[in-house]
Amino acid sequence: DADVTQTPRNRITKTGKRIMLECSQTKGHDRMYWYRQDPGLGLRLIYYSFDVKDINKGEISDGYSVSRQAQAKFSLSLESAIPNQTALYFCATSDYQAEQFFGPGTRLTVL
């Protein structure tokens, strides 16, 4: 079984809809991250969490919110989706001073 899972894997929605992307991990890591990937821009950090009570904004947090329901779960929400939020979204986890482990990604299309 995968260490980091994301649901859904693909989602098509309409402008103005609320969307939640979910991430779960079995690695026992405290730190979790949400990124978006756009062609030619690499990965950009949206939000990150160092434990259940610690949530921090990344470089592109506008239009997004997150919830850390438990050590193993970190959800990303788009309160009112817009077309320029069409992207590939990745969840990642890490332990202190170690590399990050990535989920398989969620491809989101906002029409």
Partner 1 sequence: AQSVTQLDSQVPVFEEAPVELRCNYSSSVSVYLFWYVQYPNQGLQLLLKYLSGSTLVESINGFEAEFNKSQTSFHLRKPSVHISDTAEYFCAVRISSNTGKLIFGQGTTLQVKP
- Site for partner 1, rule CB under 8 A: 4, 31, 33, 35, 40-45, 48, 50, 58, 90, 92, 94, 96-97, 99-105
Provide, rounded to whole angstroms, the least separation between the CB of residue 83 and partner 1.
22
- Please state, as a whole number, how many other Cβ atoms lie within 10 Å of the Cβ of residue 32: 28
Provide, rounded to whole angstroms, the least separation between the CB of residue 99 and partner 1.
5
Provide, rounded to whole angstroms, the least separation between the CB of residue 15 and partner 1.
26
Nearest 5°: phi and psi at 36?
-125, 145
Q: Toward partner 1, which CB reaches closer, 16 or 28? A: 28
> In whole angstroms, how far apart are CA 77 and each of 27, 28, 46, 97, 102?
23, 23, 11, 28, 18
